[in-house]
Amino acid sequence: MSDEQDSKKTDWILKGNRRAIALIVGTVLTVGSVIGVQAFASSDTYQHMQLASGYKSSWHGDSHKGFSEYSDAEIEDRIERIVKHVAIEIDATPEQQEKIVALVATTAKDLKPVHARTRAAGKEIHELLTAVTVDRAALEKLRAERLADAEKVSKDLIDTVANVADLLTLEQRKVLEERIQQFHNMRRRWHRG
């Protein structure tokens, strides 16, 4: 009988230890996950991603909308916030910031209708291709219009980037390049898993 009693005591202790270990491991994993998520959410990387993407959680009352759906004031506000954020990194003067915001905001506002047309083109192509007869002339016209839009976007963006670069010193451009490279390296690691 003493072997049976010892066995019952040992089983209870082993089961109790397993439960305790499982509880401890579960608690550590939960606490570690919460701390890890909070640490990432307060990290510079996450802040950069949110700022650049313009994403705000629907928990904050904002929904994610497309660029062409923003008002000119919203575009200017977002650009101003991004420029101020980057200005800290490159030690830009208030005058530089003001000029950069003006350049980028003007270009963004000019390209907003192009973005809207590009988004609408997908629907147009779908309608043309699912019609009773395929209107090749209309498809070609749409293709040519979107190519002209792409040319405009390309030219405007390069002009704006060159104008912004002219406003910055060589040292500021080097720091900016380093930050961009860091961001690209982080993105590569995220995509590799």
CA neighbor of 146 nearest in space, from 121, 112, 116, 124:
121
Question: Band of the pLDDT at 193, cuts 50, 70, 90?
Answer: low
62 contact partners, CB below 8 Å, separation of at least 6: 56
Position 37: which residue type? V
pLDDT averaged over the chain? 76
As a whole number of angstroms, the distance between CA 47 and CA 84 comes to 13
**What is the mean predicted confidence (pLDDT) over 78-106?**
89
> End-to-end alpha-carbon separation of the chain, Å?
57
As a whole number of angstroms, the distance between CA 99 and CA 189 comes to 34
Residue 118 pLDDT more than 70?
A: yes
Whole-structure pTM value: 0.59
Question: Band of the pLDDT at 183, cuts 50, 70, 90?
Answer: confident
Query: Residue 169 in 3-state DSSP?
Result: coil
pLDDT tens track for 11-44: 655 565 666 666 676 666 666 555 655 555 555 5
103 contact partners, CB below 8 Å, separation of at least 6: 160, 163, 164, 167
Residue 185 pLDDT more than 90?
A: no
pLDDT tens track for 36-62: 555 555 555 555 555 555 545 443 445
pLDDT of residue 110: 87
Query: Sign of the CA dihedral 58, 60, 110, 169?
Result: negative
pLDDT of residue 58: 41
**What is the mean predicted confidence (pLDDT) over 62-70?**
65
Question: Among 59-68, 151-160, 173-182, which is the least confidently predicted range?
Answer: 59-68
pLDDT tens track for 105-114: 898 888 888 8
